[in-house]
Amino acid sequence: MTHTPRTARYLGALLLAVVLLPFAPASSQTATTASDRFAPHAVATIAPGDQPTIVLVHGADAESSSWLGVIERLQRRGYPVIAFANPLRGVASDSANLKALVDSIQGSVVLVGHSYGGMLISVAAAGDAKVKSLVFVDAQIPLPGENAAELTNKFPGSKFGEALVTRPFVLPDGSTGIDLYVDPAKYRSLFTGYKVSAREALALAAVQRPIAQSALTEPASAAAWQTIPSWDVIGTKDTAIPPASQYFMAQRAHAHITAIPAPHASMLSFPDPIARVIEAAARN
C-alpha cells in the first residue's frame, strides 16, 4: 500500500502518541484509596541533603510495603525514605536494630512508628540528637515500664486479641516462642478497612509479619517523646488500638494531634494526610 506524505505524517503522529501514552503525566488530583498509591506523580526537584531522612517503622502483623503510598508522596517532595524491616521479636532487640539503622544515616532523622512501632521509636530515639521529630501513627506511646498490651487496653474496645491466630516459632538457640498473626478472614475489618478491596486485604494478610507474643508485654525502657517534639495521627475508626487509648497517650505526650476517619492501618487508605503530618514534623 502506498501512502501520501500527508497520510504518512498522520500515521507517524498516531504511532508516537500510542508509544508515549504510558508515560503521560497523571492527573493532578490525589486519590486516597489504597490502590492509588502506585499511581505516578511528578518528582520535586530538591537537592540531596536538604531534607532529613524519614525512617518508617511498621507495627505488628504488617510489613514495610504498607508504607508505599506514604513513601511515594514523601519521595516526590524530595525526602529520602527508609522503611525499616521490623523484626517484631521484642522491644529491646527491635529498638536496638532500629537504633543501629539510625546511627548509619548521615544527617537528621524523623522517626515514624505505626502501632507497635511507636514503642520502638520511643526507645530507639532516646538521647539521640540526630532524631529531630517523632511521628506516631495509630501507635502506642509508652512511658518507661509500660508495654504495648496494657496501653492498647487502657480503654475498652480493642478487637485485636479476638482476631489473632497463634503459631510456634523456633529461635537459633533452640528455644521456642509463639507468633501472633491476624486471621486473614478478619484482616480487612480489623486492619485495612473497607477502602481497601477484599482481594488486596487478603493479599496483605498473606504477607503480614507476625509479632512474638512476648513482645507485647515487654516494657519500654525509655520515652524519647519526653524530649523530642512529637506528632500523632489517630484513626478514629481504629478497632485494634481504641481511639480513646490513642488520645490518652497523645495528650500525655503533648503531641500535635491529627485525627482522621481511618482504620488501624491508616497509611493504606489515607496516605495523603499522613505524609503531610510527617512533612510538618520534618520541617519542625
- Total domains present in the chain: 1
- Which pairing describes strands 53-57 and 109-114: parallel, antiparallel, or unpaired? parallel
pLDDT over threshold 90, residue 132: yes
Q: Is 138 left (phi over 0), alpha (psi -120 to 50) or beta?
A: left
In a domain, 16, yes or no: no
Does residue 18 fall inside a structural domain?
no
Q: Does 3 score more than 50 pLDDT?
A: no
Q: Which residue, 148, 96, 95, is CA-closest to 122?
A: 95
Tell me whether residue 157 is in a domain.
yes
For residue 26, tell me if it sits in a domain: no
191 is a domain residue: yes
- Show the domain range for 54: 34-282
Across 16-27, average pLDDT:
32
Q: Residue 31 pLDDT > 50, yes or no?
A: no
Contacts of residue 75, Cβ cutoff 8 Å, sequence gap at least 6? 43, 81
Q: Is residue 70 part of a domain?
A: yes
**Residue 1 lies inside a defined structural domain of this protein:** no
pLDDT tens figures, 87-128: 999 999 999 999 999 999 999 999 999 999 999 999 999 999
Distances (CA, A) of 233 to 60, 92, 179: 17, 24, 27
Q: What is the pTM of this model?
A: 0.83
Residue 10 has pLDDT above 90, yes or no: no
7 confidence band (pLDDT: 50, 70, 90) = very low
What backbone phi and psi angles, to 5 degrees, belong to 224?
-60, -25
- Residue 30 is predicted with a pLDDT of 32
What digits encode the pLDDT tens for the residues 187-227?
999 999 999 999 999 999 999 999 999 999 999 999 999 99
Q: What ranges in the chain are assigned the alpha helix state H?
A: 5-20, 68-76, 91-103, 117-124, 148-152, 184-187, 198-206, 243-252, 266-269, 271-282
pLDDT at 6 (0 to 100): 39
> Between these two residues, 24 and 204, which has the higher pLDDT value?
204
Tell me if 210 is assigned to some domain.
yes
Mean pLDDT of the chain: 87
Q: What whole-number percentage of the chain has pLDDT above 90?
A: 81
Task: Give the pLDDT confidence score for residue 77 in this predicted structure.
Answer: 96
pLDDT tens readout for residues 158-171: 999 999 999 999 98
> In this model, does residue 36 exceed pLDDT 80?
no
pLDDT band at 181 (very low <50, low <70, confident <90, very high): very high
pLDDT confidence of 50, banded at 50, 70, 90? Answer: confident
Check whether 17 has a pLDDT greater than 80: no
For 49-63, 65-79, 148-162, which range has the lowest pLDDT when averaged over its residues?
A: 49-63
CATH classification of the domain holding 57: 3.40.50.1820
pLDDT at residue 4, rounded to an integer: 40
